[in-house]
Structure 1
Amino acid sequence: MMQIKFWGVRGSIASPGPETAGVGGNTSCVEVRCGSTRFILDAGTGIRKLGDELLTEGTVRATLLLSHLHWDHIQGLPFFVPAYLPSARIEVVGTTHGVGTLRDTLANQMAAPNFPVRLEDLGAEIAYREVRPGQVFDIDDVKVRVAKLNHPGGVLAYRLDHAGKSVVYATDTEHYACVDPALRSLAEGADVLIYDAQYTPEEYRGERGRSRVGWGHSTYVAGAELARAAGVGTFVLFHHDPSRNDAAVDDIERMTRQLFPSSLAAKEGLVLGLDAVSEAA
C-alpha cells in the first residue's frame, strides 16, 4: 500500500566517488508510492535516475513535494526527463517563504547563462501549488500535512498518510534544546520518520572543526530523541554530510541503534515497504 525508495541521500552537495559509492553520493530525492499515487520528495540530483526508471513504467503522474529551494534540493529537476514529455503530468508543491513565486524560483535556476533549456520550454503539464505550515490537503486518497522546520530561509516538513500507514519527511532542520513540538506533533505515531542527521554531536558543537550551530542541520542523537518522543516505528537517518564516507555512515547507524533500535541509514536504492526492508538490485 505504501512503498518508499531512496534515490538521493546526501546533503549540501553531491559527493560521488569510491568512498561514498555504498551509501550513494546524490542529493536529496525520495519516492513514495501510495497505491497508484506517486510522490517525489525533493528534486536533488537523485531525481535523474528516478526519472529514467519512471520512463520504463508508462505515462508519468507525480506530485513533487519540495522541502525548500536551496540548490541541493532542486538541482536535479532540469535533468528529470519526464518533465520534457507532453504526456507527463507533474504538480510541484512548496513555498518560497515570501521571496517571489515557486515557479519563478525554479525558472531562475534554468535561466541563461545557467542552463540551456528554460523552464517554460519543458513539455510536461506542470502545475504549481504554494502551501503554508499547518496546511492539510488531499492528493487522491493520501492526506498531506505540512509543518515548519528550523533552517535558514525556511523549510517545510511533510507527512503522508495512506491506508493506515504514514511517513514523515523532515530534512534540513536544526534541533532545539528540547524536541521540536511542531515536529513531534507531525511525527506522532508515524511508521517511518526520515530526518536530517547530517552531523555528529561533536561536529555540531565544534569539537571537530568549525561549530555547525545555526547552519540548519541536526544530529543522529536529536533524531533518536525525536523518534522516541513521537513513538515512530522506524527512524531513517538522512541528508548525510558530503564528506562522510560509507564506513562513517555505518558507524553512525550503529551508534543510533543504541539509542533507538529501529534505526537505519538511508542509502540509494533502499526500499521500505513499511513491513519489510530490502536493498534494490
Structure 2
Amino acid sequence: MSSTQNNLFTIHFWGVRGSIACPGPETVRYGGNTPCVEMRVGGERLIFDGGTGLRVLGQSLLSQMPVEASIFFTHSHWDHIQGFPFFIPAFLKGNRFNIYGAIAPNGSTIKERLTDQMLDPNFPVPLRVMQADLRFNELEIGKPVQIGEIIIENALLNHPGEAVGYRINWRGYSAAYITDTEHRPEGLDPNVLKLAQNADVMIYDATYTNDEYYSSATPKQGWGHSTWEEAVKVAKAANVKKLAIFHHEPLHNDDFLDRVGDEASVHFRNTIMAREGLSISLIESNGVNSVPLPQEDQVFV
C-alpha cells in the first residue's frame, strides 16, 4: 500500500438501487445494481453491503490480488446479499475477508444467512467452495469495531427484520452509511442522528418522495424506507457537510432521479445523488469525482 493511499478517505459507489436490480435503458446514468459501497480509509478497504454491485467491485479487484478487506452487512434482505455468491475474489485462495453482521431477530448469524442463500436448490455452488480466508464476526449492536486507526460505530435502524447503520471515523473525518431505515412519525430517529452527527458525508436511504410515502392510493408506511425530504431534515439537524441520496427506488428512472436531486439541492445545497461509478474524497478537496467502472468484456464468470 502506497503512502498516498494510507492518507486517503474515499467512498466509491458500486450499487445504489434498493429492492431489486433494475438494469435497462432508463437506469443507465445512475445504475441498476443493488447496494454496495466501498471505502478506502487510511490504507484499509471497507465494503458495506453485498448487493449486486459487489459483483462489479469484485471484477475490479481481480487486478489487485491478493486482496484483504472488511465487509459490513446492514442486514440480509436479498438486495443486500445477492452479489456475494458472485464475488469472485472470495473464491480465490490468498485473499482475506473479515465479514461482520449482527445476529438476526431469529437468532441466525451472518455466516448462516450467507451460507443458506447458496444452498441447493437455490444456488449451485455452496459457500464452502470459496477458497479465500473468510473470517466471520458477530457484530454487537452499539459496540464499535476498531480496524487500525479506524473506528466503525453502529446502531439499529427502523426496518422490518432490523438493519444496522454505520459511522466510519478516522483522523477527524467521518462518513455515515444509513440504509435501510424508515423515519419515525414522532420525530427524527436518535440512532440516525447519532450516526450522522457532524459527518463529512451521510449516505441515506431516500427510496421515496413524500408524495409516494404518504400516497392515499399506495402508501409506503411500514415498508422500511425513508424519503429525500426526511434526508434533508436529518442532514440539517445533524450538521452534515454532504448528503448522498441512496437506495433509489427501482421504478425511478434517470430523469426522475435528476428531478429529485435538483429539488433536494434547493433545500440542502450540498446534496448529491449516489450513482454507480461515483467517487467522493473526504480529504484532498472534499470534492466529487466520477470514476469509470470496468467494461463488461472484462467480467470473469
Question: What TM-score results when the alignment is normalised by the length of structure 1?
Answer: 0.98
Q: For residues 75-120 of structure 1, give each alpha carbon's deviation from its aligned partner in whole angstroms, at most 9, with x where no partner exists.
A: 0001000000111100110113242222111101000011111011
* Structure 2 residue aligned with 1:136: 144
Matching of residue 204 in structure 1 with residue 194 in structure 2: no
The one-letter amino acid paired with 1:75 is Q
What's the offset of the Cα at 1:141? Answer: 1.4
The one-letter amino acid paired with 2:250 is P
Distance 2:114 2:59 in 1: 21
What's the offset of the Cα at 1:126? Answer: 0.4
Aligned residues: 280
Paired residues of 2:105 and 2:161 also in contact (CA < 8 A): no
Paired residues of 2:175 and 2:201 also in contact (CA < 8 A): yes
* Structure 1 residue aligned with 2:97: 90
Matching of residue 269 in structure 1 with residue 277 in structure 2: yes
Matching of residue 81 in structure 1 with residue 88 in structure 2: yes
Question: What TM-score results when the alignment is normalised by the length of structure 2?
Answer: 0.91
Distance 1:94 1:117 in 2: 22
* Structure 2 residue aligned with 1:145: 153
Matching of residue 181 in structure 1 with residue 222 in structure 2: no
2:18 to 11, 18, 34: 11
What's the offset of the Cα at 1:248? Answer: 0.3
What's the offset of the Cα at 1:3? Answer: 0.4
Distance 1:152 1:67 in 2: 12
1:64 to 68, 71, 75: 71
Q: For residues 228-269 of structure 1, give each alpha carbon's deviation from its aligned partner in whole angstroms, at most 9, with x where no partner exists.
A: 000011000000000100000010011111111100110000
What's the offset of the Cα at 1:140? Answer: 1.6
Distance 1:98 1:120 in 2: 25
Paired residues of 1:69 and 1:96 also in contact (CA < 8 A): no
Q: Find the residue that maps to 2:79 and give its secondary structure.
A: helix
Matching of residue 279 in structure 1 with residue 286 in structure 2: no
Which consecutive unaligned segments of at least 5 residues does structure 1 have?
A: none
Distance 2:51 2:201 in 1: 21
Distance 1:35 1:136 in 2: 17
Paired residues of 2:103 and 2:139 also in contact (CA < 8 A): no
Distance 1:35 1:51 in 2: 21
Distance 2:265 2:33 in 1: 24
| Percent of aligned pairs sharing the same letter | 44
Summarize the alignment of residues 202-241 of structure 1 with structure 2, pairs less than 5 Å apart.
Answer: 202-207=211-216, 209-241=217-249
Summarize the alignment of residues 100-139 of structure 1 with structure 2, pairs less than 5 Å apart.
Answer: 100-139=108-147
1:46 to 41, 53, 74: 53
Moved more, 4-13 or 92-101: 92-101
Paired residues of 1:68 and 1:96 also in contact (CA < 8 A): no
Paired residues of 2:101 and 2:109 also in contact (CA < 8 A): no
1:195 to 191, 204, 208: 204
What stretches of structure 1 move > 6 A for 4+ residues in a row? none
Summarize the alignment of residues 25-44 of structure 1 with structure 2, pairs less than 5 Å apart.
Answer: 25-44=32-51
What's the offset of the Cα at 1:43? Answer: 0.3
Distance 1:58 1:104 in 2: 27
Q: Find the residue that maps to 1:56 and give its secondary structure.
A: helix
Which consecutive unaligned segments of at least 5 residues does structure 2 have?
A: 1-7, 293-301
Distance 1:258 1:132 in 2: 38
